[in-house]
């Protein structure tokens, strides 16, 4: 479903407030600083793909600020994947300042204050992904915030090409098809991120982080396999079982807890898909849970609701939008 916001329909005196509201509705509350509010020109197109949203933002120079006060009533964390097509953007978060130019894309966190700006007229694609959806595919995505990724070649370029081609076609799709395209875009994004060597080593460039990432990658690739075990993961990574356990203990978790959490996130994503026709038992088994009673207990402990309650809420919400 497309929504379009354009300042061309607003009188000059109302454009600042109009754009402030459009941006807050599309992303989340932000403060804006304009070079010239009365002369400001902008168009914002947005589409939904299930729980994922994509937008095309074309506007004059602007500074966006996300403050601590904006976070007080925010419960749902999300990540913004920003792809500049025209003009370089500046982004500051968690003490780090980066510049992202056309041919790259940038990852931003909603649950930390930040500044985002461009000093000339810019054209941006922005993909908004709920935290739980991204975490189901990429472990610890918060470590990716403020990193720029190459969008000029290989999987990164394919991700951006698909983003650009998909949005104009979404108006022609049914709700279920749009949700499927959203999942495909997140899968491509995950592939592009996994291909970047900086993700292997993290910010500290340590061997430990490289081994941890490889272990997470093995887990993600074999998540559906009920036989997945710490011993098999250690062997696939070429490290000892003891060292594998130490890697995850340093992150405040255990190997088995990480596996269970990733499986639960994938199950939750499937249950929130109102068009998924698999039974709860089939979804649980597909993601490596052989014991249904254990799955239900773990799911409720993790999300505070039963699998049936999550599915019912998703279908009710979908019915209201239909």
Above 50 in pLDDT, residue 204?
A: no
Distance CA 150, CA 148 (A): 7
Above 90 in pLDDT, residue 143?
A: no
pTM for this structure? 0.79
- Would 287 be classed as within a structural domain? yes
Which of 156, 174, 192 lies at the terminal end of a domain, its last residue?
A: 174
Above 60 in pLDDT, residue 200?
A: no
Same domain, 73 and 139: yes
- Would 199 be classed as within a structural domain? no
**pLDDT on residue 203:** 46
Q: Count how many domains the chain has.
A: 2
For residue 271, what are the domain limits?
Answer: 207-312
Same domain, 47 and 113: yes
Same domain, 118 and 34: yes
Same domain, 217 and 159: no
Torsion of CA 49, 51, 254, 193, to 10 degrees: 40
Tokens at residue 256, please?
A: 């088995």
Which of 158, 174, 190 lies at the terminal end of a domain, its last residue?
A: 174
Same domain, 47 and 167: yes
Same domain, 117 and 220: no
| Residue 282 · residue 307 · CB < 8 Å | no
Distance CA 207, CA 211 (A): 6
**Looking at residues 251-275, what average pLDDT do you find?**
93
Q: Number of C-alpha atoms within 13 angstroms, CB side, residue 176?
A: 7
pLDDT tens-digit map of 29-72: 999 999 877 789 999 999 999 899 999 999 999 999 999 999 98
pLDDT tens-digit map of 278-305: 999 999 999 999 899 999 999 999 999 9
Same domain, 158 and 49: yes
Q: Which class for 69: exposed (0-12), middle (13-18), buried (19 or more C-beta within 10 A)?
A: exposed
pLDDT tens-digit map of 71-117: 988 888 999 999 999 999 999 999 999 999 999 999 999 999 999 99
Same domain, 88 and 153: yes
In the sheet with 114-118, reading across from the earlier edge strand, the strands are: 31-34, 62-66, 114-118, 89-93, 96-100
**pLDDT on residue 321:** 67
- Would 52 be classed as within a structural domain? yes
| Residue 90 · residue 116 · CB < 8 Å | yes
- Would 191 be classed as within a structural domain? no
Which CATH number belongs to the domain containing residue 289 in this structure?
1.10.10.60
**pLDDT on residue 36:** 79
**Looking at residues 164-193, what average pLDDT do you find?**
92
Return the top range by mean pLDDT from 6-15, 118-127, 129-138, 313-322.
118-127
**pLDDT on residue 74:** 82
Which CATH number belongs to the domain containing residue 46 in this structure?
2.60.120.10
Q: What is the mean pLDDT of the chain?
A: 91
**pLDDT on residue 129:** 96
CB atoms inside a 10 Å sphere around CB 312: 13
Tokens at residue 246, please?
A: 């130490």
Same domain, 306 and 227: yes
Same domain, 292 and 169: no
**pLDDT on residue 232:** 95
Write out the DSSP string of 17-28: HHHHHHHHHHT-
**pLDDT on residue 139:** 80
- Would 200 be classed as within a structural domain? no
pLDDT tier at 205, thresholds 50, 70, 90: very low
Same domain, 154 and 211: no
- Would 184 be classed as within a structural domain? no
Q: Which residues pair with 89 in a beta bridge?
A: 100
- Would 190 be classed as within a structural domain? no
**pLDDT on residue 38:** 77
Above 60 in pLDDT, residue 201?
A: no
- Would 293 be classed as within a structural domain? yes
Above 50 in pLDDT, residue 202?
A: no
Distance CA 42, CA 127 (A): 18
Tokens at residue 54, please?
A: 């994509």
Same domain, 57 and 130: yes
pLDDT tier at 175, thresholds 50, 70, 90: confident
Torsion of CA 269, 273, 286, 231, to 10 degrees: -10
């Amino acid at each position: 479903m497309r929504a379009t916001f354009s300042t061309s329909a607003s009188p000059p005196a109302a454009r600042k407030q109009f754009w402030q509201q459009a941006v807050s509705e599309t992303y989340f509350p932000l403060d804006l600083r304009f070079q010239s509010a009365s002369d400001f020109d902008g168009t914002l197109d947005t589409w939904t793909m299930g729980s994922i949203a994509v937008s095309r933002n074309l506007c004059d120079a602007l500074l966006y600020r996300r403050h601590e006060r904006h976070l007080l009533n925010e419960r749902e964390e999300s990540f913004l994947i920003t792809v500049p097509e025209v003009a370089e953007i500046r982004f500051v978060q968690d003490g780090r300042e980066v510049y992202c130019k056309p041919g790259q894309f940038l990852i931003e966190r909603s649950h930390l204050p930040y500044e985002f700006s461009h000093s000339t007229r810019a054209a941006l694609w922005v993909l908004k992904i709920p935290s739980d959806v991204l975490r189901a595919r990429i472990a610890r995505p918060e470590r990716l915030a403020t990193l720029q990724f190459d969008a000029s070649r290989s999987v990164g370029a394919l991700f951006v090409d698909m983003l650009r081609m998909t949005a104009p076609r979404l108006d022609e799709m049914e709700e279920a098809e749009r949700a499927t395209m959203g999942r495909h875009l997140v899968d491509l994004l995950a592939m592009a991120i996994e291909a970047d060597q900086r993700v292997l080593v993290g910010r500290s460039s340590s061997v430990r982080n490289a081994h941890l990432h490889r272990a997470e990658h093995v887990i993600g690739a074999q998540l559906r396999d009920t036989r997945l075990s710490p011993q098999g993961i250690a062997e696939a990574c070429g490290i000892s079982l003891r060292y594998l356990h130490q890697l995850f203990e340093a992150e405040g978790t255990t190997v088995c807890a990480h596996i269970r959490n990733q499986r639960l996130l994938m199950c939750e994503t499937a249950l929130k898909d109102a068009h998924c026709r698999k039974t709860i038992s089939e979804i649980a088994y597909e993601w490596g849970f052989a014991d249904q009673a254990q799955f239900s207990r773990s799911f409720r402990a993790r999300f505070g609701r039963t699998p049936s309650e999550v599915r019912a809420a998703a279908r009710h919400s979908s019915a209201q939008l239909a």
